[in-house]
Amino acid sequence: MKKIFLVFTTLLYLLTSCEDDDFCDDPTTPRLIIEFYDKEDPTTRKQVPIYAWADQKDSIYQLVLTDSILLPLNTQSTSTKYKLSTTNDVETLDLTYTTSDVFISEGCGYIAHFNDFGANLEPIIDPELESWIDRIEVNVTKIENETETHIKVYH
């Protein structure tokens, strides 16, 4: 009888002491959303054949015809530079921000939010080259999700 009680107690302890697994339902650090617009008709999105890469890194987009791109920001820095090109013309987009860590859950851990976000086009030094970007517009100064456009590029 003592053996049955001991086995029953051990099984009961093992079954009730387990925790539910804490799975993460895909919350990640948001990426920067850039949408491309027609400079002649600023309300119309316009596709562009784009190359995009971070300064001194491999390409993220390689001649993709699209009207929007998603780019990761460096969470270990307060700025990131991206090169955007349409074939021969290369523009440098200088992005500045501060980061804050946000705890999601045990399964997900922390993600970064980007605050005080700003963007500037670096001037083209060579007078022989033309800028393919007419202007940029920063829509939000806090990047917390991937549901809204963060930067509009008019070309």
Query: Mind listing the pLDDT tens digit for each residue in 112-125?
Result: 999 999 999 998 88
Q: Tell me, what's the pLDDT at 89?
A: 85
Which residues in the chain show pLDDT less than 70? 1-22
Q: How far apart are CA 3 and CA 96, in angstroms?
A: 68
Q: Tell me, what's the pLDDT at 69?
A: 97
Q: Tell me, what's the pLDDT at 23?
A: 73
Q: How far apart are CA 30 and CA 19, in angstroms?
A: 30
Q: How far apart are CA 33 and CA 113, in angstroms?
A: 14
For the entire predicted model, the pTM comes to 0.82
